[in-house]
Structure 1
Amino acid sequence: MSFEVRMKCREMLAAALKSGPMPPGCGDPHDKAAQLEDAIYGELSSCQVKYKNRIRSRLANLRDPKNPGLREKFLVGLITPQELSRMTPEEMASDDLKQMRQQYVQDSINAAQLGNVEGTKTNLFKCERCQKRNCTQLHIRDGDEPLITFVMCDDCGNRWKS
């Protein structure tokens, strides 16, 4: 039974690899599919749920019309079967999706930082990064030290001392 499952998975992977235009200098999709399936089977050692989920994940990412780069890199050999078999969904994502995720992370960090600042809103300072005047200032004096003003841009999260 596992032989039949493996052969079916190889057929589906080969079909996914042939789902778009073939880049110049690419290898045989059937060979590439067999190498990828071997790498996945070699790592998981069975045709159980994890194996099938890993195959499904690779199929979805290789067929994704918004991510032709993954398929092309694999076909021309920039990504080895062993690398592709172990890649996380984040690593397989298209460049646009990676950039969007990075922006979400940065926005979340900025939002968390903005929530922690207790200061006075001001437009007296201009942010060097985004050139806006939407800032929060916080004055700190420690003992006999002079007054220090910390400023944070409420738009981009840039921080500086004034």
Structure 2
Amino acid sequence: MGVEEEVMSLRKQLEKCTPSADNADPDQSGVLDLLQSLSQLKMNLNILSTTRIGMTVNALRKSSKDEEVITLAKSLIKTWKKFVPETNAAGDKAKEKKKDDVKRKDDKHGSQDGNGSRTDEALVRSFPSKPQATADEVRLRCRDMLSKALRGEADTELPDGMGQTVEDIAELIEDALFKKFKDTGMRYKNQIRSRVFNLKDKKNPALRENVLTGVIPPDTFSTMSAEDMASDEVKNQRKAFVKAGIDAAQLAKVEGTKTDLLQCGKCHKKNCTYNQIQTRSADEPMTTFVLCNACGNRWKFC
């Protein structure tokens, strides 16, 4: 097992020890051993970015009441911060400065809502949201299914312009669905399967690319219906079918002629409306379309 796989395995075990909405008081007896195992692994920036182990350890540090666990967690985070390039640190400072400038600007113009709280949706959107950590096995499996569907097959390249990792996007989608249904019941699972199916659809690659690049945000994708997720080709086909159905329904009613000379083969009543249309060449007889006013049965004859 490689270092990245070991870190992922330890991360999942640590998440089970971290309080969550599903488990407010988890067993933390083995946390110290897990953290010590992490301290013995040879880490690098790529592993830290891919596994996001730093977030898990930091969440554990905040929730733990064991001083030894808190100390070791702080030590690990401090060590891992050394892998972050100085340019990233400078970028973070620039973001913080920009955030402070916006806040000062709001203070100057009194940008507050009716309750006096600060409202700046543009600033909130500029910082990607983070999913809630969970140790629930069903939710973890669903996140893994979404992640694999987003990543695609082995020879499929990820698009340019991704602002978040595949795992982050998958977890945000799952988190939004869980918040919507409040449990991991059948409705939740059906919605997960629907999104996995549509993301894997080879005839609709634009959907996967739009989700990965943020054109369709995770929270928006979590609320999309099957019709919304369909490809443009399928949407056009559906429109054509609907139009054909409407045309067929209205065909016998537009300038139709009522008659009791024709009998419905379904209900055997003689309450019909017919319409004759030239559907073939001029030297061919007209086609008669008939609607039974009693049961709605339709048929045609030449």
TM exceeding 0.5 = yes
Provide the secondary structure at the position in 2 that maps to 1:24: coil
Match of residue 161, structure 2, among 4, 13, 25: 25
Provide the secondary structure at the position in 2 that maps to 1:116: coil
Going from structure 1 to structure 2, the CA distance change for 1:116 and 1:85 (only over 3 Å counts) comes to same
Could you tell me how far 1:78 is from its partner in structure 2?
A: 0.9
The aligned counterpart of 2:136 is 3
Higher radius of gyration, 1 or 2: 2
What amino acid is aligned across from residue 243 of structure 2 in structure 1? Q
Could you tell me how far 1:81 is from its partner in structure 2?
A: 1.1
Aligned-residue sequence identity (percent) comes to: 42
Provide the secondary structure at the position in 2 that maps to 1:66: coil
Could you tell me how far 1:120 is from its partner in structure 2?
A: 5.5
Distance in structure 1 (CA, Å) of the matches to 2:278 and 2:138? 65
The aligned counterpart of 1:141 is none
In structure 2, runs of 5+ residues without a counterpart are 1-21, 23-134, 257-274, 280-285, 289-302
The aligned counterpart of 1:51 is 188
In structure 1, runs of 5+ residues without a counterpart are 124-133, 137-162
How many corresponding residue pairs?
Answer: 126
Distance in structure 2 (CA, Å) of the matches to 1:121 and 1:59? 47
Provide the secondary structure at the position in 2 that maps to 1:33: helix
TM (norm. structure 2) is 0.39
Match of residue 175, structure 2, among 35, 38, 45: 38
Distance in structure 2 (CA, Å) of the matches to 1:21 and 1:74? 14
What amino acid is aligned across from residue 167 of structure 2 in structure 1? H
What amino acid is aligned across from residue 190 of structure 2 in structure 1? N
Going from structure 1 to structure 2, the CA distance change for 1:34 and 1:121 (only over 3 Å counts) comes to closer
Distance in structure 2 (CA, Å) of the matches to 1:23 and 1:113? 47
Provide the secondary structure at the position in 2 that maps to 1:60: helix
Could you tell me how far 1:21 is from its partner in structure 2?
A: 2.8
Distance in structure 2 (CA, Å) of the matches to 1:39 and 1:25? 23
Could you tell me how far 1:112 is from its partner in structure 2?
A: 1.1
Match of residue 66, structure 1, among 203, 211, 214: 203
1:72-121 CA-partner distances (Å, limit 9, x unpaired) = 11111011111111111100111100000000011111111112132564
Going from structure 1 to structure 2, the CA distance change for 1:107 and 1:122 (only over 3 Å counts) comes to closer
1:1-162 paired onto structure 2 within 5 Å: 3-19=136-152, 20-26=156-162, 27-117=164-254, 118=256, 121=277
TM (norm. structure 1) is 0.71
1:101-156 CA-partner distances (Å, limit 9, x unpaired) = 00001111111111213256469xxxxxxxxxx9x9xxxxxxxxxxxxxxxxxxxx
The aligned counterpart of 1:158 is none
Range with bigger deviation, 91-100 or 16-25 = 16-25
Structure number with higher strand proportion: 1
Over 6 Å off, 4+ runs: none
Could you tell me how far 1:44 is from its partner in structure 2?
A: 0.7
